[in-house]
A and B are shown apart, each in its own frame.
Chain A
Amino acid sequence: MLDLNEIQKTLLTEVADLHDVPQGAYNIRSNSRSVGRASTSNIEVMPREDGQGLTIRVQPNTKNESIHIPVVMSESGLKELVYNDFHIGKNADILIISGCGIHNTGAQDSEHDGVHRFYLGKGSHVRYVEKHYGSGDGSGKRILNPGTEVYMEEGSSMEMEMLQIKGVDDTTRTTTAELAKDARLVIRERLMTHGNQRAISYYIVNLNGEGASADVVSRSVAKDNSYQKFDAKLVGNAPCSGHTECDSIIMDKGKIEAVPALVANDVDAALVHEAAIGKIAGDQITKLMTLGLDEQEAEAQIVNGFLK
Chain B
Amino acid sequence: MLELKHVSFRVSEDGQEREIIKDVSLNIPNNKLVAITGPNGGGKSTLARLIAGIVKPTSGKILLDGMDITDFSVTDRAKTGIGFAFQQPVRFKGIQVYDLIRLAKGEDISLDHACDYLSAVGLCARDYIEREVNSSLSGGELKRIEIATVFAKASKLSIFDEPEAGIDLWSFQNLIEVFEDMRDHINGSTILIISHQERIMNIADDILVLKDGQLASYGPKDEVLPVLMGTAVAYPECKKGGAGKGDDLC
Given contacts A286-B74, A291-B149, A302 and B79 within 8 Å (CB-CB):
no
Task: Contact check, A290 vs B74: say whether CB atoms are below 8 A apart.
Answer: yes
Task: Give the CA-CA distance A295 to B92 in the complex, in Å.
Answer: 16
A residues near B74, Cβ cutoff 8 Å: 286, 289-290
Partner of A292, one of B78, B94, B100: B78
Contacting A at CB under 8 A, from B67-84, are 73-75, 78-79, 82-84
A294–B95 contact, CB under 8 A?
no
A282 to chain B, nearest CB (A): 10
Q: Given A286-B74, A301-B99, does the pair A291, B153 have CB atoms closer than 8 Å?
A: yes
Chain B positions within 8 Å of A286 at CB level: 54, 74, 90
CB contact between B78 and one of A289, A301, A307 (< 8 Å): that residue:
A289
B86 lies within 8 A of chain A by Cβ: yes
* Chain B: CB-nearest residue to A290: B84
CA of A287 to CA of B83, assembled, Å: 10
CB–CB A305/B92 < 8 A: yes
Residues of A within 8 A of B90 (CB): 281, 283-284, 286-287
User: Which residues of chain A come closer than 8 Å to B103, judged between CB atoms?
Assistant: 288, 291-293, 301
A284-B90, A305-B94 known, 5 other contacts, Cβ within 8 Å: A283-B86, A289-B75, A291-B103, A304-B94, A306-B94
Determine if B185 is an interface residue (Cβ-Cβ < 8 Å).
no
Interface contact B94-A289, CB-CB below 8 Å: no
The answer, yes or no, to whether B89 is at the interface (CB within 8 Å) is yes
Chain A: minimal CB distance from B74 (Å) = 4
Report the 5 A-B pairs with minimum CB-CB distance, sorted nearest first. A305-B95, A305-B94, A289-B74, A292-B78, A306-B94
Judge whether B106 is part of the interface by a CB distance below 8 angstroms.
Answer: yes
Find the residue from A284, A287, A294, A306 having the highest chain B CB count within 10 A: A287
Interface residue? B186 (CB, 8 A): no
In the bound complex, what is the Cα–Cα distance between A291 and B85 (angstroms)? 10
Asked whether B52 lies within 8 Å of A290 as measured between CB atoms, the reply is yes
Whether A284 contacts B78 in the complex (CB less than 8 A), given A301-B99, A305-B99, comes out as: no
B83 x A284 contact (CB < 8 A): no
A290's partner among B78, B92, B95, B106 (CB-CB below 8 A) is: B78
Chain B residue total in the interface (Cβ 8 A): 25
The residues of A with any CB-CB pair to B shorter than 8 Å are 219, 247, 281, 283-284, 286-295, 301-302, 304-308
Given contacts A287-B90, A288-B103, contact A295 B95 (CB under 8 A): no
In the docked arrangement, what's the CA distance between A3 and B80, Å?
A: 53
* Known A-B contacts A289-B78, A292-B78, A293-B103; A219 and B94 likewise in contact (beta carbons under 8 Å): yes
6 residue pairs bridging A and B, Cβ less than 8 Å apart: A247-B93, A284-B92, A290-B84, A292-B79, A292-B153, A305-B99
A108 to chain B, nearest CB (A): 37
* Cα A308 to Cα B75 with chains together (Å): 25
Q: How far is the CB of B37 from chain A (nearest CB, A)?
A: 22
The answer to whether A295 and B75 touch (CB under 8 A), given A290-B52, A305-B94, A308-B94, is yes
Q: Does B178 sit within 8 A of A, measured CB to CB?
A: no
Complex Cα distance, B92 from A219, in Å, reads: 13
Instruction: Give chain A residues whose Cβ lies under 8 Å from the Cβ of B224.
Output: none
Q: Give the residue name and chain of the A residue nearest to B95 (CB).
A: A305
Q: Tell me the minimal C-beta distance from A142 to chain B in angstroms.
A: 26
- A residues near B100, Cβ cutoff 8 Å: 291
Q: Please, how many angstroms separate the alpha-carbon atoms of A249 and B102 in the complex?
A: 24
The smallest C-beta distance from A295 to any residue of chain B, in angstroms, reads 7
- With contacts A286-B54, A291-B153, A301-B103 taken as known, whether A307 is within 8 angstroms of B75 at the C-beta atoms is no
Q: Bound complex: CA of A304 vs CA of B73, how far in Å?
A: 24
With contact pairs A290-B83, A291-B103 given, residues A302 and B78 touching in the complex (Cβ less than 8 Å): no
Quick one: given A292-B106, A305-B92, are A287 and B99 in contact (CB under 8 Å)? no
**Chain B contacts for A290, CB-based, 8 A:** 52, 54, 74, 78, 82-84, 86
Counting CB contacts under 8 A, is B167 at the interface?
A: no
CB-based contact B73/A289 at 8 Å: yes
Residue among B82, B83, B90 with the highest chain A CB neighbour number at 10 A? B90
Q: 1/0 contact trace for B200-220 toward A, CB 8 Å?
A: 000000000000000000000
CB distance B75 to A293 under 8 Å?
A: yes
* B123 contacts the other chain (CB 8 A): no
Decide yes or no whether B1 CB sits under 8 A from chain A.
Answer: no
Contacts of B89 in A (CB 8 A): 287
In the assembled complex, B104 has its CB within 8 A of some CB on chain A: yes
CB of A50, distance to nearest CB on chain B (Å): 44
| Complex-state Cα separation, A286 to B54, whole angstroms | 7
B84 contacts A301, C-beta separation under 8 Å: no
**Residue in chain A with minimal CB distance to B102:** A291
Pairwise interchain contact A292-B75, C-beta atoms closer than 8 A: yes
A118 vs B104: C-alpha distance when bound (angstroms): 45
Please name the residue on chain A nearest to B54 by beta carbon.
A286
